[in-house]
Chain A
């Protein structure tokens, strides 16, 4: 079996006096979109932030391309080719859409061909190119947050609940965009609560509960097993389409 792009082993994270991650073990296969599912408070966001170095793992290893990155600073982790789209989107509201993307393009000027590809599914960004990002709608801000992560080719993209709070039509737009991204064989680790999005996009899946991984496997297997869904997530994917 090929070595995964990212592998977590026994990762524990404390935030203040709270013990959030209590030994997280899972792997993200290269070139696949891995879904990280679980109930609220399971530790999904903490897992992404710990991978990114925004919170420090107190124990365990985080291996990216075979090397332990758990002691690296956040910028050093980003330098490895890892992009992060936080749940809050964290767009720079006072900067224009263009300026947000200029900052995200670390290697040089914006690539016009890549921009055209992004505009193909996020047309609003082209329309509001010179508008301060703070004036965009919620869906457009999410488009910008994702666009920042993909404005240059990355090895791994961490996306935290991109569909949260968005209208169904915007969610469909976002799912279509992420499907386009999948065609480029970019590796993605995505936290998601929208099970329709999870099933339509995910190749592999890891389910968290109580700060641990309680299931890992193929998304198709989980989608086909209503009993397993009910046991792991407390509901059925089919009920949430």
Chain B
């Protein structure tokens, strides 16, 4: 995410996906609708996956329980929104904020605290041991999912979109869902915020340096473990936020919401280059766009299309679109 000499070539991939879809879809109005839907989905995936890519980049930790933070964020948001039914259903955005702001903040706080617990109790004993990380984080996720069943029950619960963000805005033949536009704006805001932190603050420099060479950062006197805990908690909180927003996007929450997203999230961080936030951003947009275009053109191959995308990207750039450090 360095400001100097930005590599624009991977952006060609996004243009190729979008223009290729335009040629296949034919209808510009449908294409615009699908593109906005793809961008919204991609940016929500970016919010959920940006923390995981930094966690992997900084400490080489493979956290398969990341989907749990997504699920917890969605459930906590759903619970909070239900406390303010009138405000959530109002067509006034200001009134919606009364319900939305505490719901999203609580989702982030709950996921962040759960992330802190996971890092301290589950992951800390297995630093540097990939196989054990996979096993123990997967096991931790299974246990935590059962706890979600205990707290919220096994049934699907609804998480309706705020009243002011229901429906669509029409531009001629083009219908753009308000919630998707809001998701695009929020996703861009998160990306810009992360970009500012990573490029304009010393803590951001430390994170970028730590992704490249954590040992050297420690040799310069910085406690990278503390930095890692902070990034882990922030990444978990972002996953919680993404989970809440994704739950509203689907207007339903189940315990499987995290597990369903984790496949796409891993595809995104591998495509982007492990540890790269810029790569995660571009990868998420590519995955979101492709998923929506292919779902329209040929629904049966939607998930397979993203795996194919990953194969193509890795054949083109084996270390991902924006390799970070020596990964």
Which A residues are closer than 8 A to B by beta carbons?
A: 52, 54, 73-75, 78-79, 83-84, 86, 90, 92-96, 99, 102-104, 106, 130-132, 135, 148
- Please tell me if the beta carbons of B212 and A93 are within 8 angstroms of each other in the complex: yes
New contact pairs (4) apart from A74-B219, A84-B219, A103-B220, CB-CB < 8 Å: A75-B221, A75-B222, A94-B325, A102-B205
With A and B bound together, what is the CA distance between A103 and B4 in angstroms? Answer: 17
Contact of B221 among A86, A93, A106, A135 (CB under 8 A): A106
Chain A contacts for B124, CB-based, 8 A: none
Contact status of A95 and B324, CB under 8 A, knowing A74-B218, A75-B223, A106-B220:
no
Chain A contacts for B217, CB-based, 8 A: 103
Interface of B is mostly: helix
With A and B bound together, what is the CA distance between A104 and B205 in angstroms? Answer: 11
- Please tell me if the beta carbons of B213 and A92 are within 8 angstroms of each other in the complex: yes
- Please tell me if the beta carbons of A132 and B4 are within 8 angstroms of each other in the complex: yes
B2: Cβ under 8 A from any A Cβ? yes
With A and B bound together, what is the CA distance between A99 and B208 in angstroms? Answer: 10
Contact of B220 among A54, A73, A148 (CB under 8 A): A148
Chain B contacts for A132, CB-based, 8 A: 2, 4-5
Question: Smallest Cβ distance from A61 to chain B, in angstroms?
Answer: 21
Chain A contacts for B4, CB-based, 8 A: 96, 130-132
With A and B bound together, what is the CA distance between A92 and B209 in angstroms? Answer: 6
Chain A contacts for B11, CB-based, 8 A: none
With A and B bound together, what is the CA distance between A86 and B219 in angstroms? Answer: 10
Going nearest first, the 4 A-B pairs with the smallest beta carbon separation are A78-B221, A90-B216, A74-B218, A92-B209
A-B contact pairs, 10 of them (CB 8 A): A75-B218, A75-B221, A75-B224, A78-B219, A78-B221, A92-B212, A94-B208, A96-B2, A102-B202, A103-B217
- Please tell me if the beta carbons of A94 and B223 are within 8 angstroms of each other in the complex: no
The chain A residue sitting closest to B209, CB to CB, is A92
Contact status of A95 and B216, CB under 8 A, knowing A75-B223, A102-B205, A103-B202:
no
Contact status of A90 and B213, CB under 8 A, knowing A131-B4, A135-B5:
yes
Question: Smallest Cβ distance from B128 to chain A, in angstroms?
Answer: 13
- Please tell me if the beta carbons of B202 and A86 are within 8 angstroms of each other in the complex: no
Q: Mark B297-327, 1 if CB is under 8 A from A, else 0.
A: 0000000000000000000000000001100
Question: Smallest Cβ distance from B327 to chain A, in angstroms?
Answer: 12
Chain B contacts for A131, CB-based, 8 A: 4-5
